């Protein structure tokens, strides 16, 4: 009887509160609508994190589930510095060799060539994952910049759009991407060249948790703390310059530790480095216009690095960044 009385009292109290809210118009107020939006956002972020935690790299499908609910290939082609027919042909080689991720950006000046390459293969649009980026000089007019990217690519929608690096107006630009995602123009959104300090300042100011953070990552610049932090948030980490970047590739590929591991597995140094990235949970987008290299960079699933080999490569880290981002 006592328990029933307590339940009845709580129920009556709830009714009184609801009636008071209704009579005061609180349920219809803008403040309460905002509160509901915030609560829904928090729930969505929580769901996102749990989904990604259970969606680690799938080496059979060669994909990872993003917190946006879309699967992303874990390796692909970076198109920085590829222009004209070289870009078109590289995209064609990547896709016809089994790759399904193409990374471009406004600042690469090749979004139109990427789109042409995709169409040239005849591969269904839904089977290709396309990433592009907005540059800081576009942030002030991000909605039109998004439409411009869609027009240049001419592929119907963008799988993943990133802000290229922090800059004036980046919060408003990110919110424009959030709206474009709601409108169906973009499926997933994220950031490039954001580190722990920048992420801690940025994330509380936005609504949709980034699906991907894309930074420079290679054995000489490993970002282990950043990778762990990004993963802890339920965000996928992606690495550009995985082979060290222009002017540094030869040194990295010729590193004694790397070459010895490559020899042990009967693969190339590039394959060892790319496989190392994958095993630490980093998506890779090596750039190349050489058809043989493009095909080789996709052939990463016939061997696996041992724990000792992963540790040996980790020991190569020297916090040596090869670009200014």
Concatenated DSSP letters of 72-135: EESB-EE-TT--HHHHHHHHHHHHHTT--EEE--GGGT-HHHHHHHHHHHT--GGG-EEEEEE-
Please report the pLDDT score of residue 48 as a whole number.
Answer: 45
Please report the pLDDT score of residue 66 as a whole number.
Answer: 96
8 A C-beta contact, residue 173 and residue 163: yes
Distance CA 144, CA 133 (A): 13
Q: Which one from 70, 80, 106, 108 is the annotated catalytic residue?
A: 108
Please report the pLDDT score of residue 245 as a whole number.
Answer: 84
SS3 164: coil
Low pLDDT (below 70) residues in the chain:
1-55, 325
Name the β-bridge partners of 130.
102
Kindly report, residue by residue over 99-109, the tens digit of the pLDDT. Answer: 999 999 999 99
What is the per-residue burial (b if ≥16 Cβ within 10 Å, else e) of 20-58?
Answer: eeeeeeeeeeeeeeeeeeeeeeeeebeebeeebeebebe
Token pair of 79 as six digits? 């198109």
SS3 40: helix
Please report the pLDDT score of residue 26 as a whole number.
Answer: 37
Please report the pLDDT score of residue 323 as a whole number.
Answer: 79
Q: What single DSSP character describes residue 160?
A: E
**Residue position matching structure tokens 């870009």:** 87
Q: Any known ligand binding at 164? A: yes
Please report the pLDDT score of residue 77 as a whole number.
Answer: 98
CB-count exposure of residue 12 (10 Å: 0-12, 13-18, 19+): exposed
Q: Residue 164, Cα to own-chain centre: how many angstroms?
A: 12
Phi and psi torsions of 115, nearest 5°:
-60, -40
Torsion of CA 311, 317, 322, 325, to 10 degrees: 90
Which H helix or E strand runs over 187?
strand 186-192
Residues near 111 by beta carbon (within 8 Å), at least 6 away in sequence: 104, 105, 132, 149, 152, 153
Phi and psi torsions of 35, nearest 5°:
-60, -40
108 catalytically annotated: yes
| Residue ranges of domains in the chain | 36-314
Token pair of 228 as six digits? 């762990």
Distance CA 172, CA 179 (A): 11
Q: Residue 197, Cα to own-chain centre: how many angstroms?
A: 18
Token pair of 138 as six digits? 């576009």
Please report the pLDDT score of residue 246 as a whole number.
Answer: 81
8 A C-beta contact, residue 49 and residue 42: no
Q: Residue 142, Cα to own-chain centre: how many angstroms?
A: 19
What is the per-residue burial (b if ≥16 Cβ within 10 Å, else e) of 241-256?
Answer: bbbbbeebbeebbebe
Which CATH architecture fits 36-314? Alpha-Beta Barrel (3.20)
Residues near 127 by beta carbon (within 8 Å), at least 6 away in sequence: 100
Q: What single DSSP character describes residue 286?
A: -
Please report the pLDDT score of residue 14 as a whole number.
Answer: 39
């Amino acid at each position: 009887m006592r328990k029933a009385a307590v339940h009845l009292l709580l129920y009556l109290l709830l009714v009184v509160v609801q009636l008071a809210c209704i009579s005061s118009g609180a349920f219809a107020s803008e403040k309460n609508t905002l509160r509901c939006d915030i609560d829904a956002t928090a729930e969505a972020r929580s769901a996102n994190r749990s989904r990604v935690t259970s969606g680690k790299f799938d080496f059979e499908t060669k994909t990872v589930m993003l917190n946006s609910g879309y699967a992303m290939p874990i390796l692909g082609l970076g198109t920085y510095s590829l222009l004209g027919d070289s870009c078109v042909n590289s995209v064609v080689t990547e896709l016809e060799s089994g790759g399904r991720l193409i990374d471009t950006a406004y600042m690469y000046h090749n979004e139109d060539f990427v789109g042409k390459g995709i169409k040239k293969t005849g591969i269904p649009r839904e089977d290709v994952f396309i990433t592009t980026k907005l540059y800081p000089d576009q942030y002030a007019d991000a909605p039109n910049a998004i439409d411009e990217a869609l027009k240049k690519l001419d592929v119907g929608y963008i799988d993943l759009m990133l802000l290229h690096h922090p800059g004036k107006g980046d919060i408003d630009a990110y919110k424009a991407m959030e709206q474009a995602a709601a409108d169906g123009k973009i499926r997933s959104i994220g950031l490039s060249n954001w580190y722990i300090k920048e992420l801690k300042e940025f994330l509380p100011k936005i609504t949709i948790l980034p699906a991907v953070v894309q930074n420079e990552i290679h054995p000489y610049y490993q970002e282990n703390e950043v990778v762990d932090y990004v993963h802890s948030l339920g965000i996928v980490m992606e690495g550009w310059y995985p082979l060290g970047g222009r002017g540094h590739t030869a040194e990295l590929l010729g590193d004694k530790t790397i070459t010895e591991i490559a020899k042990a597995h009967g693969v190339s140094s590039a394959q060892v480095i790319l496989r190392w990235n994958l095993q630490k949970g980093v998506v890779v987008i090596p750039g190349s216009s050489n058809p043989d290299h493009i095909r080789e960079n996709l052939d990463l699933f016939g061997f696996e690095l041992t724990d000792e080999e992963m540790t040996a490569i980790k020991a190569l880290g020297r916090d040596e960044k090869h670009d200014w981002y």
